[in-house]
Chain A
Amino acid sequence: MSKVYFSTWNGEFVNNINTPQEEWKESAYNLPAQYDSHRASKAFIGWDGVALFDKDVDVIRLAMEYAAQYQEYSEACGRCAPGRWGGRILYDLLDKIARGEGSKADLDHLKEIGKSMQVTSKCEIGKTVPNPIIDLMEHFEAEFLECIDKQKPSKHYHEEVGYIAKITAPCTDACPSHVDIPAYIEGVRDLRMDDSLMATRQTMPLAHVCGRVCPHPCEEACRRTNLDEPISIMSLKRLGADWETDHGYDFFHPMEKKPSNGKRVAVIGGGPAGLTTAYYLAADGVEVDVYEELPVLGGEVAVGVPEYRMPIGKYNKDIECVRDMGVNFIVNSKINADDMRRFESEYDATMVATGTRISKKVYCNNERAEIKGYWGAIDFLDKVNLYEKYGYKISKAEQDENLLTTDFVDLTGKVVVCVGGGFTSMDVVRCAIRANAKKVYMIYRRDEKTIIKNTTYEEYHEAVEEGVEFLFHSAVADMRDEDNILKSLLIDKFELVPDPNGGRAELVKVEGASYVIEADYLIPAVSQSADLKLLPPEWEIEMTSWATIKTNGKDYMTSRKGIFASGDCEYGPMTIVNAVGQAKRAASVMSRYVLSGEVTLTDDEIMEDHLRKLRVYDKKEKITGWLKGIPRQHSEVLEVEDRKYNNKEVNLGFTQEEAMSEAERCMRCYYIAMVQA
C-alpha cells in the first residue's frame, strides 16, 4: 500500500491533488513509491493506469516518454498496423504538444488513434499503451490545453529527467525465472523454433527440462484463464528445444559470448542453480569452474527426477548447451571447508548451489537409520536413477544395507510405503512401481485436493493409474522391526476437525483407528535439509531458521562478501525454475561484482522486483476482444500398460497441430511499465 498523490491504477481512483501530504489517502496497490535505496519515484505509469507520487511531475512529458518506450522495445515490435503506425503517431503528437507546437486537433487525433489501438491491436502493448495516456489527457486536460493555447513547452520538457521502463507480462512476472513466455510462444506460432528457443534461453538455459517438469506457476497467472482455460505454457516450451535436438543443430545461444575478462568464479554444485549460474557468467566472459560431488552432472533433476518424466538424453542436451558456452565441469569432487577457504583466494567469487539432499525424518517411534528397509528418498532415487540413466551398479555393501539381491533396484515381491506429498514422493512411488514392487502405498497427512495442489493433477492421476494406493489423512506412528529388518508399520488415521471459532481446521488423530501394514520398505519423502558442512565455521555464514543459507533474496550474496548462494540450499526444497531464477539473478550480480567489487542491481532487475510486488496478473480482469471457449490442448500420454513396466517417456508432447492451435490462443499480454525517478 503506497502513498500516492494521484492514481488511476486498476480502476481505483485516488485523487490527493490539493490535499496536504499528511492527509493523502493510500492506494490499495503496492505501487513502487520508493524506487531504490537512494531514489524515490515521482511517477509510475503502466498498462493499467498512472500513479503520481509527487506534485511536480510533468504529465505531458510523462505521457510522451511512455509512448516513446513503444518504439524502443522489440516486444513492441511494430508487427501490427495499429501498433506500428499508431504507436509512432501517439509519440509524434505528444511530442508536438510537449514541445509547444500542438493543436486541439492533435488531442482529438490522439484520442481516436488511442481508441483504434485499444480495439484492433495484436497484443496487449498496443491495447494498453493508450490507457494511461488517455487517463492523463482526461484528468490533466488543463495542462495539455495550456501548452497548446500558449504554444509553450511542457513544464520539464528541456530538462534531464530519469525514466526507467520495463516490459513485462503476467506470466513472465509470475515465473520465478521471468522467462519471456509470450516471445517463445510467438516463436511457436510463427513456426520459428530457433527464435522460440532463444527467447527461452535468455533467462532459462534448461529448455528441455522446463518444458517437461515444471509446476508452471505461470499458468496460474495466465490471463487466458479469465476467458476460458490457461495456455499450456509448459508444453509449448519444449518444442524449441526438441527442434534444435531433432535437426542436429549447434546450440542456439541468445547472446554472443563476451571475450574473457580475466575473472574466475567457482560454482559448487552442478544442478540447475549451478548450471544456470555458470551459463550466464560464462556468457559474460567469466571463467567458470563447476564442482560436482556426484560422478554425473545435473543435480536432483538428473538423479532425483526419473527417466520417464525427464529423459536424461534430453537433459544432457541442456547440460551440453551450458558446456558449449565455455564452462569447465569437474565431477566426483565433493568440496569441503578447506577447499572453500582456498577458493576465496583463487577465485573472484564463489557460488554455493549444493541443494538439499539430506532426507528428513518422519518422526515416528523407533525411527532408526540402522533398520534395513528404512531408505531415505534421496538415496533411493539416487540408486534408481544412477543405474537406469547411467549404468552405475550398486555395491555389495549398499545392496546389503537396502535388502537388495541385485546390483540395481529390484523390488520384486516387496511392499513399499512412502511418506510424503510432494514431487519427490511421487517420483519415489512411481519408480517403485517400475521396480516391480508387489504393492506401493503413499502415506499423506492431508487430502487428495492438497496433494494435487502440491504436485500436479497429471502427476497424481498417472500415479493412481499405475497402481499406487494413496492413504490420505494418515501418518506413520511406529516402525516395527525384527533384528533391525523392517517388518511392518503402525499407521495413524487423522481427521480434519473444523475450528468452532472459524479459524483453520485442525488434523486430529482418530483414536482406535490405527492399523498395521506389513512393509519391507519405508521411504521418507518429507522434505530435505541442506548439507552445509562445506561452509567454514569461522566464516559464521548467517542461516535461516530452517537451516538454509540466508540472503536478501535480491542479490543472493550471503553474509560473507564474495560468497553467494542460490537454489534449494538458499530457499529450502523448491522447484527447478526457482533455482534457475535465483541463479540467473545471482549470476548477473556476480558478473558485476567480480569487476567492481560492489553488489548492485540493474534498473531492469529493480523494476522486475517492483513489478513482482505489484503483481502483474489481475484475476478479476474482464477480457475483451477475444472469443472464449476455445479448448486448451492436451498432449498425448502413454497408456498405463505401455508405461508401467519401463522408463519410456510418459508425456509425448504436442503434435505440431496441437502446438500451433495452442499457441494461437495466447493473447501476448506484454505490458510496458515505466517509473520516473
Chain B
Amino acid sequence: MNKLINFKIDGISVEAQKGETILTVARKNGIYIPTMCYISKTSPCASCRMCVVEANEVDGFILSCNTPPTEGVEITTNSAALQNERTNIMKLYDVNHPLECGVCDKSGECDLQNKTLEFSVERQSFSARDQLRPLQHWGLIDYEPSLCIMCEKCVHVCNEVIGDDAIEVKFGGYSSTIIPKNSETLDCTFCGECIAVCPVGALTSSGFKYRANAWELERVPATCAHCSAGCPLEYETRHGSLNGADEIFRVKNNFEFASLCGAGRFGFDFDNIAVKNENAFGRAIEALKNAKAIRFSSMITNEEAHILELLKDKLGVKLFNEDARKFAEFMSSYSSISGKLHHSGSLDAIKQSDAVIVIGSRIATDNPGVRYALTTASKHNGAKIVYAHPMEDTLMQNVITQMMKYEVGTEEGVMALLAHTILKDSDLDESERAFFDELDFGYLYAETNIGEEELSHMMKSFMRAKKRSLIIGNDLIAHDRSSNIAKLAALIEKYSDFSLIVVPREINTLGVSLINSLDCDEKISNVVGYNAKGDFVISSLEGADLAIPALNQQEGTFVSIDNRVLPTNVALEFDGYTLNDIAMAFGIYEENTINYTKELNKNSGFKDIIFDDLENFLSPLGEDNRGYLLDEVICQTDGKLEELNDMPEFNGTIIYNCDPVLQFNNYTFKTVQLPKENLLLGSAQFAVAAKIADGDIVEISFGETKMQREFKLDGELKGTIALNPTFDISVDASRYRFEKSKIERVM
C-alpha cells in the first residue's frame, strides 16, 4: 500500500511517495536546495552537507538528500543560520584549493566556481597546512588530488551504475583521496563517467587537457553512434587550431540521469573529411544503374534506410544486410507467437528489475548500456542475475548471482529448458504444453550441461522478485535455430511476468529491420556497398569510391533497444555528397534527408511526426523526452513451436568473435583515443589445445575466413574458447559468433 506522505517545504504543501527524500520532493516542486555532492542516479553521497535544512521540532539541521520526510513535518530550506553554515562549508572547500582557474579545464563549468560566487565567499578566514598531492596519470583519465573536494560522486557512479568498482576512497582525515581499488594504476573499462560527474577539475580527460575552454565550445545534442543503447550525448565543437575547420573536441552527457561508455565519450573523431568529387559521384550513379544489389550496414539512419528502400523499388535491386535480416527473422518468429511487433522490455525495465536472465551475449562489451542497467538493478534492487553463456566474464562477477555455463551451440536446448522451468505452472495451450512435456530432459541436460539443480536454484533465487527481465543476445539471433528460439522467448514473455529485451547488434539494426525488406546476401557481382563490402564502395571510411558523411555528420533518427526513435544532429559539416543526392539523381526528390522522418514505415509503428518536432532532452527530473516510442503493432499469431533439432557439438579449439571493451566497429577503430589492441585472447588451456604460446602469430581459419592475429595469454579466461576481435575487420553478421576453428602457428 503506497501511502503518500504529506508535509510542507517553505510553507508549501507537498507530498512524497515511499522512498523519496526531502530533496527529491523539493526538486519535483521546483524548490531550490543547494547541493555539491548529490547525483540523482546513485544513492546519496552525503559528504558536502550543503543540503542541510531546518525542520520544526528538530534542534539543529537535518540532511535533506538522505532523509525521508515524516507526515506533517515543516521544512525550511533557507535561513540566516543555514546560509551561514553553507557559506562556511564553501569557505572550507576553498581552503587550499589551487587558484588555477586560468588554466584548469573545468573553468567555466565548475561547481566550485559557481557555488563560491553563489555564496559570495569573498574572503577566506580559514587555513590549513597544505599537503603534497602528486598528479595521477591513469591513461585516458587524469586525477589531480589537490583540486579534489572528496564529494565521492565518482566512486558512487563507478560502483553503483557502471559496475567496474575501480576506484575507492582512501580514508585519512584531511589527506583522504581517491585511489584505484586493488591496483597500482586505474584498471577499468574507461567509461569516463567519473570525469563527467566530477564537479571540479580533479578528474579530467587527458585527451582534452588544455585544448579548449568550456565556453568556447558549441554543443550539438546527438545520439551515440556505436551501439544500440541509444545513449544521449553532446558533441562539443570548435574551430581547430591550424586550418580553422571545426573539430569535435570532446563529448559530454547528461550524467545526472544518463550514462555513457568510453566508446561514446572518447571515440568521437570518426568523422569523414571530403569535398565534392563530381567524377566519383558520376561513377556511383553508373554503378547503381548497373547494380544487382546494394549491400549496406546497420550503421545508417532510419531516413537513409528508407531512401535505400525507395531505391530498391526504383532500381529493382536487392538489398543485403545480414545483420538486420537475421534480426528481422528473429523478431518475425517472435511476433508469430507474441502477436506483436516489438519486445516489451527496455533499459529502464532492466534497471527496475530484481530478477534478470541474460542469455547469449557477452553483454559487458556487446552493449554497455545494458550492462550499466544490470549494475543498477544489482546494486539498487539486489537483483538476482543469471548469466547464461559458454564463457565467464570477470567484469560481470560483482553483478551475476548465478553463472549458467552451457555448451557452445546448444542455445535452443537451453532456451527450451529455461522456458520449461519458468512456465511450469503457466496456462499454456495443449500443443504448447505437449511440446514441453515431450522434451527429452536427460538428453538436454547432458548436451547443454545445464542441470536440473541449476534451474531450480534459479527459480528459488527469483522467489521474492517482483520485476523480471529476459535479455536475449546476438548468439541466439544469429543461431541456426534462431526461429524456434525466438518462439520460446515469446512464450516466456507471453505467459510469465518476464519482460523481454532482444539486443540489436548495431546502432540501427532494429530500425533497418523495421524499414527495409531485405534479401539473403549472395555471392554475386555488381553489388554496390553502402558502408559495406561491394564492387563499388560508398562509405564514410577511408578507401571509399565515393565519400559520404559519418554518423556524427548527419541529421536523422535511429531506433534504439528501447524501441524509441531518437534524433541525432550534425556535429561537423560534411562537404561531400550524401545518399539523398544520389536519390535525387534517380528522381526520388526530397530537399533534405530529414524530410523522410515522417514517411517512415507506419506498419512498423513509426509515427507521422516531422524531424524538427522531435524533442531531444531529458527533463530536470530525468524523464526521457527524446523522440518518440514506436507504436505497438498487432501481428498474426500463427506460429508453432518446432521440435528441437539435435544439439550441435563444438569440439576442439573454438573462436568467439567478440570485441574488447571500448571497440565496436571500424569507426571506433578509427578514433585516436580508444585502445586498439586486436589480439586473439585465450586461456592457458586454449594455448595448450592449440599448441601455441603467448606472443605467437597464428592463422585462424573458420568457415571461409582465414585471418592472422597475434595470440595473447589472458589469465582471467578459462577453457578452450578464445576471444577474436572484429572491430578492425569486416564481419559476416549472418554467422553464429562461435566458430570451430583451426589454429596454426605462423611464427
Residues of B within 8 A of A656 (CB): 354, 379-383
B666 at the A interface (CB under 8 A): no
B19, A628: Cβ atoms under 8 Å?
no
Residues of A within 8 A of B401 (CB): 246-247
B453-480 toward A: CB 8 Å interface, digit per residue (1/0)? 0000000010010000000000000000
Q: How far is the CB of A207 from chain B (nearest CB, A)?
A: 17
Residues of B within 8 A of A625 (CB): 58-62
Q: How far is the CB of A24 from chain B (nearest CB, A)?
A: 35
The answer to whether residues A77 and B171 also contact, given A625-B62, A627-B58 and a CB cut-off of 8 A, is yes
B52-66 toward A: CB 8 Å interface, digit per residue (1/0)? 100100111110001
B464, A636: Cβ atoms under 8 Å?
yes
Residues of B within 8 A of A71 (CB): 172-175
B81-95 toward A: CB 8 Å interface, digit per residue (1/0)? 000010011001101
Q: Can you name 18 A-B residue pairings with CB atoms under 8 Å?
A: A71-B175, A72-B173, A76-B173, A77-B171, A79-B171, A79-B176, A84-B150, A86-B92, A87-B174, A88-B174, A119-B61, A191-B160, A625-B59, A628-B58, A629-B71, A629-B73, A657-B380, A664-B66
Which among B70, B149, B159 is the interface contact of A192 at CB below 8 angstroms? B159
Residues of B within 8 A of A87 (CB): 173-174
Which B residues between 650 and 684 are near A, CB-CB below 8 angstroms? none
Residues of B within 8 A of A109 (CB): 125-126
Which among A77, A84, A247 is the interface contact of B397 at CB below 8 angstroms? A247
B351 at the A interface (CB under 8 A): no
Which B residues between 336 and 390 are near A, CB-CB below 8 angstroms? 354, 379-384
Residues of A within 8 A of B523 (CB): none
Additional 5 contacts, C-beta under 8 A, given A78-B176, A116-B92, A627-B69 = A109-B126, A112-B125, A625-B60, A655-B354, A656-B380
A630, B68: Cβ atoms under 8 Å?
yes
Residues of B within 8 A of A659 (CB): 382
A128 at the B interface (CB under 8 A): no
The answer to whether residues A79 and B169 also contact, given A119-B85, A661-B19 and a CB cut-off of 8 A, is yes
A248, B403: Cβ atoms under 8 Å?
yes
Count of chain B residues with a beta carbon within 8 Å of a chain A beta carbon: 63
A63-91 toward B: CB 8 Å interface, digit per residue (1/0)? 00000001111111111111111111100
The answer to whether residues A116 and B85 also contact, given A81-B149, A625-B58 and a CB cut-off of 8 A, is yes
Please give me the residue from chain A that is nearest to B65 by CB atom. A664
How many angstroms between the C-alpha atoms of A639 and B171 in the bound complex? Answer: 44
B397, A249: Cβ atoms under 8 Å?
yes
Which among B58, B172, B397 is the interface contact of A626 at CB below 8 angstroms? B58
Which among B61, B92, B400 is the interface contact of A85 at CB below 8 angstroms? B92
B101-136 toward A: CB 8 Å interface, digit per residue (1/0)? 000000000000000000000000111110000000
Residues of A within 8 A of B47 (CB): 79-81, 122
Count of chain A residues with a beta carbon within 8 Å of a chain B beta carbon: 54
How many angstroms between the C-alpha atoms of A608 and B173 in the bound complex? Answer: 23
Residues of B within 8 A of A406 (CB): none
Which among B46, B71, B125 is the interface contact of A80 at CB below 8 angstroms? B46
B172, A74: Cβ atoms under 8 Å?
yes
A89, B127: Cβ atoms under 8 Å?
yes
The answer to whether residues A247 and B95 also contact, given A74-B172, A78-B176, A659-B382 and a CB cut-off of 8 A, is no
A120 at the B interface (CB under 8 A): yes
A198 at the B interface (CB under 8 A): no
Q: How far is the CB of A254 from chain B (nearest CB, A)?
A: 14
Residues of B within 8 A of A122 (CB): 46-47, 49
Please give me the residue from chain A that is nearest to B160 by CB atom. A191
Residue picked from B47, B61, B92, most chain A C-beta under 10 Å: B92
Q: How far is the CB of B52 from chain A (nearest CB, A)?
A: 6
Residues of A within 8 A of B398 (CB): 247
B260 at the A interface (CB under 8 A): no
How many angstroms between the C-alpha atoms of A89 and B96 in the bound complex? Answer: 11
How many angstroms between the C-alpha atoms of A89 and B19 in the bound complex? Answer: 37
B303 at the A interface (CB under 8 A): no
B85, A88: Cβ atoms under 8 Å?
no
How many angstroms between the C-alpha atoms of A604 and B690 in the bound complex? Answer: 58
Residues of B within 8 A of A120 (CB): 49, 52, 61, 85, 88-89
A92 at the B interface (CB under 8 A): yes
Which A residues between 204 and 227 are near B, CB-CB below 8 angstroms? none
A121 at the B interface (CB under 8 A): yes
Residues of A within 8 A of B48 (CB): 80-81
A78, B150: Cβ atoms under 8 Å?
yes
A652 at the B interface (CB under 8 A): yes
Which A residues between 272 and 328 are near B, CB-CB below 8 angstroms? none
Residues of B within 8 A of A247 (CB): 397-401
B171, A657: Cβ atoms under 8 Å?
no
Q: Please give the residue numbers on chain A whose beta carbons come within 8 Å of chain B beta carbons, in ascending order.
A: 70-89, 92, 109, 112-113, 116, 119-122, 189-192, 246-249, 622, 624-630, 636, 652, 655-657, 659-661, 664
How many angstroms between the C-alpha atoms of A71 and B49 in the bound complex? Answer: 20
Q: How far is the CB of B65 from chain A (nearest CB, A)?
A: 10
Q: How far is the CB of A119 from chain B (nearest CB, A)?
A: 6
The answer to whether residues A78 and B380 also contact, given A85-B93, A89-B127, A630-B67 and a CB cut-off of 8 A, is no
Residues of A within 8 A of B156 (CB): 190
How many angstroms between the C-alpha atoms of A112 and B89 in the bound complex? Answer: 12
How many angstroms between the C-alpha atoms of A116 and B93 in the bound complex? Answer: 13
Which among A84, A121, A624 is the interface contact of B176 at CB below 8 angstroms? A84
Which among B19, B70, B169, B384 is the interface contact of A630 at CB below 8 angstroms? B70
Residue picked from A120, A655, A657, most chain B C-beta under 10 Å: A120
Residues of B within 8 A of A74 (CB): 171-172
Q: How far is the CB of A489 from chain B (nearest CB, A)?
A: 42
Please give me the residue from chain B that is nearest to A113 by CB atom. B126
Residue picked from B61, B176, B398, most chain A C-beta under 10 Å: B176
How many angstroms between the C-alpha atoms of A86 and B95 in the bound complex? Answer: 10
Residues of A within 8 A of B175 (CB): 71, 78
Please give me the residue from chain A that is nearest to B67 by CB atom. A627
B152 at the A interface (CB under 8 A): yes
B61, A78: Cβ atoms under 8 Å?
no
Please give me the residue from chain A that is nearest to B397 by CB atom. A247
Which among B44, B58, B128, B403 is the interface contact of A624 at CB below 8 angstroms? B58
Which among B68, B73, B125, B152 is the interface contact of A79 at CB below 8 angstroms? B152
How many angstroms between the C-alpha atoms of A659 and B400 in the bound complex? Answer: 19
How many angstroms between the C-alpha atoms of A624 and B58 in the bound complex? Answer: 7
A78, B171: Cβ atoms under 8 Å?
yes
A81, B92: Cβ atoms under 8 Å?
yes
B616 at the A interface (CB under 8 A): no
B43 at the A interface (CB under 8 A): yes
How many angstroms between the C-alpha atoms of A102 and B38 in the bound complex? Answer: 38
B173, A191: Cβ atoms under 8 Å?
no
Please give me the residue from chain A that is nearest to B69 by CB atom. A627
Which B residues between 147 and 189 are near A, CB-CB below 8 angstroms? 149-150, 152, 156, 159-160, 165, 168-169, 171-176
Residues of A within 8 A of B171 (CB): 74-75, 77-79
Residues of A within 8 A of B461 (CB): 246
B88, A116: Cβ atoms under 8 Å?
yes
Which among B88, B125, B174 is the interface contact of A78 at CB below 8 angstroms? B174
Q: Which 9 interchain pairs have the tightest Cβ spacing?
A: A656-B382, A625-B60, A88-B174, A78-B176, A71-B173, A74-B171, A624-B60, A85-B92, A624-B59
Residues of A within 8 A of B88 (CB): 82, 112-113, 116, 120
Q: How far is the CB of A667 from chain B (nearest CB, A)?
A: 11
How many angstroms between the C-alpha atoms of A79 and B176 in the bound complex? Answer: 8
Q: How far is the CB of A73 from chain B (nearest CB, A)?
A: 8
Residues of B within 8 A of A121 (CB): 49
How many angstroms between the C-alpha atoms of A660 and B18 in the bound complex? Answer: 13
How many angstroms between the C-alpha atoms of A190 and B126 in the bound complex? Answer: 31
Residues of A within 8 A of B168 (CB): 192
Residues of A within 8 A of B73 (CB): 627, 629
Please give me the residue from chain A that is nearest to B90 by CB atom. A81
The answer to whether residues A92 and B127 also contact, given A71-B175, A81-B49 and a CB cut-off of 8 A, is yes
How many angstroms between the C-alpha atoms of A660 and B379 in the bound complex? Answer: 10
Please give me the residue from chain B that is nearest to A195 by CB atom. B168
Q: How far is the CB of B165 from chain A (nearest CB, A)?
A: 8
